[in-house]
A and B are shown apart, each in its own frame.
Chain A
Amino acid sequence: MLKKLTLLAAAAAFAMTAGAAQAFPDKPVNYIIPFNAGGESDISARLQQPYFKKITGEDLIIQYQAGAGGAQAWSVLNDQPGDGYTIMGTNLPHIILQPLLQNPGYKTEDLTNIYMFHFTPDALLVRADSEFKTVQDVIDASKENPGALTVGGVATNTANHIAHQRFADLTGAEMTYIPYTGTGATIPGLLGGEVELLWGYTTVAAGQGDKVRMLAVAQDERHPLFPDVPTFKELGIDMVGGAYRGIAVPKSTPEEVRQQLSDIIGKINADPEFIKEMEDAGFAMLNVPYNEMDAFMAERQKVYEDTARKLGSLQ
């Protein structure tokens, strides 16, 4: 009897591994978001959810493990089973800056990113009734009175803070950066007149409609939702960047599964319906699959390191 059971179990185990090799996934996949619900990481994950189901026939289950700006989840990613059924959202510049500036309990190279699927481009925003009509207006005003203009953004050593420093480096515009708790808190700061300008993202402008005006976006090409807003590049300021979002797996995940997951996310990213939903919310699409990840990360690493050094956060 016992022998039979063992045999059966072995057979079942064999069938399961064989099944996994044929069709991944064959059960629901857990998708851990290292932030609270309601943020941009959550919204983009929720937009992915139905397409994942459509392509694989399996559910994508979103969970939250917020804490320490994402570090609490990232520091335990490699303790999770590496079977492809646990994946985790990752964010740039967080996963590069945090290990650079603090000891968050993980290193950038500990995280195995399998796809970077979108980013929210940095954008310089003003109130709709602001005297600043162009980026040049801002540069002129800030040169006339260095440090007198205030520009809000999310916290310190973040994507917004990096954008602020990059802009200062490239244009010589000296402004005072005012850190807020989160994107939600920056908007009343701008609309209520506490700060003159805001480092935000295209998503902020998409959410606020005609109450704010974007002066420029840090993308290669203009955002489809804002055809009238120039890119920094057009204005001769070499700024392309923002907050990038991707997906990582535990280190123990086999190469084959990493590739399969990368392919699935790539397929979702290619769906015109999905692209439209993402762009309507203000996101910008990005396609960095698993095999191009190392080059992409190396390039971003260099940009963030240089800027962090200038911010004085890094010796």
Chain B
Amino acid sequence: MAFDIGSVLAQAISPFNLLLALLGVVLGTVIGALPGLSATMAIAVLVPFTFAMDPASGLIMLGAIYTGAIYGGAYAAILVNTPGTPSAIATTFDGFPMAKRGDGDLAMTLATLASVIGGVIGAIALMTLSPLLANIALAFQSSEYFWLAILGLTLIASLSTGNVLKGLIGGAFGLILSMIGVAVVGGDVRMTFGISGLLGGIDIVSALIGLYCIPVLIDMVARPDRHLEPAPLGRGFRFFEALGHCATNAFNLFRSSVIGTVVGILPGAGGSIASLVSYSEARRASRHPERFGTGEPGGLLATESANNATVGGGFIPTLVLGIPGTPPDAVILGALLVQGIRTGPELFTQQSGIVYIFMLGLLIATVMMLPVGLLIGRYAYRFIVNTPKALLVPLIAFMTVVGSFAIHSNPHDVLVMVSMGALGWLLSLAGFGPSPIVLGLVLGQIAEQGFMRAYMIGGARGNFGGQLLFDRPISWAIFALIIITLGLPLWRQLRQRKAKGKEATNDI
């Protein structure tokens, strides 16, 4: 190799770079924890400052902020039931129930551990297998994205146990919401009702904040009991208890991190799909699928390890192919270009020094998340538990407005957030949860565009079926997963019924 490992190591762990990584992780965690303030935004704001640093230091800081922000998204998800970033949608499923019943401290520690483990696996994949794995970005085409989105949508069925019909209605409503605006394929203007602000569609983050946060706020005001059960004093971080959960979920963690890395490599998929798919897989593989959604540590570990693994994964196509894996990667790619660094395979040979310093920096930043996250997480948990509702509610309400405004510095998004919130609250009264709606909204566009492109290309080649499924082995695999995910519960039910039937006959 054309560089000296010793000097790379020395540069990456220079006190200045370590300080930058620490600063980046702390900053990123705080930004990610506030709903609406996203990793993309944090990086975009800080890019100009990094121009004054040498490229490697600048990159380390950006990478640290990015990984910190993805992790920080878990805070609001666990403590307030509002995903701080789309990556943390699935974290609410089990994180909030845990916090609600008084296990918030354990949930925070679990999220931290899972994020570090996922982040480290993603970063190691980035360091060792980049040129090889980058080809995955090219193997996934429109039809694969379509099936991947459908796989994500199957989660609706398992999320809404007890009332599948309401889940499906919610999902369909989300799909309709995803159609609002100018269609990418075809250019039709759909369901904007003449409002020019709707041309761009419903912003996912403002919808997230509205649908999840507003009902929680109204609930907090309407009911006299505490928002979260307080934890008994003197329990510490429950670090070893959390480690125990990690040990029993070792394979779950590994699988979720691999899913996160691979999905991170796919441009246009991102952390939300990664955590949803790994959640669904963890639930399917679990011996207690019925516990998922009620505060099961395995679910939390799956989502948080997967979304942090997308950070390393996303850098793989960014650095190797010049194709950003996630939106924050696009900003970082732009920053690289302005600094005169050309991405591509040459980056690994000619300018390898910088790249390896950056990767090592990312790894160090990820490991730093452990102490930083444990400390901030504990403080955040205590703050949410101990702050009286009269203070907490206006504070969170204020943050929802600031957060949704900050997405595009546009008051229109605040309006969307408030209307989605009102709608979400009304629907929750009728027994509809926010998650199926959000899944429909997030995955609808990916599914629609993937299908339409496969349809058009198939049409041009006179082979629609082949283009959509039959000629595409990766699609087969995803399709098989869909069948298993949908079929397994039915099969289990059938078997239970049979067993019961036998018992019944034995009784006679």
Contact = CB atoms under 8 A, between A and B. Distances in A.
B255 interface: no
B324 A67 contact: no
Interface in A183-209: 184-185, 187-189, 191-195, 207-209
Nearest to B324: A184
A122 interface: no
Given A46-B334, A104-B199, A187 B321 contact: yes
Interface in B273-314: none
Report the contact-size class of chain A (Cβ under 8 Å from the partner): 35 or more
Contact of B343 (A64, A69, A207): A207
Contacts of B200: 67-69, 71-72
B333 interface: yes
A38 interface: yes
A16 B364 CA distance: 50
B174 interface: no
Report the contact-size class of chain B (Cβ under 8 Å from the partner): 35 or more
Interface of B: 40, 43-44, 47-48, 137-142, 181-187, 189, 194, 196-197, 199-201, 203, 267-268, 317, 321-324, 327, 330-335, 337-338, 340, 342-344, 346, 408-410, 412-413, 449, 453, 456-457, 459-462
A67 B412 contact: yes
A49 B48 CA distance: 10
A150 B462 CA distance: 12
Given A37-B43, A101-B187, A148-B460, A42 B334 contact: yes
B410 A67 contact: yes
B456 A37 contact: no
A156 B187 contact: yes
A192 B141 contact: yes
B457 A178 contact: yes
A38 B334 CA distance: 5
B199 A102 contact: yes
A150 B457 CA distance: 7
Nearest to A59: B48
Contacts of A185: 267-268
B184 to A, nearest CB: 5
A12 interface: no
B142 A194 contact: yes
A70 to B, nearest CB: 9
Contacts of A211: 344
B334 A37 contact: yes
Given A37-B334, A72-B410, 13 more contacts: A38-B334, A43-B334, A43-B337, A68-B196, A71-B196, A103-B194, A104-B196, A156-B183, A176-B456, A180-B449, A181-B449, A188-B138, A188-B317
B410 A195 contact: no
Contacts of A155: 184-185, 187
A281 B340 CA distance: 9
A147 interface: yes
A67 B408 contact: yes
A36 interface: yes
A193 B410 CA distance: 39
Nearest to A161: B187
Contacts of B413: 67
B145 to A, nearest CB: 9
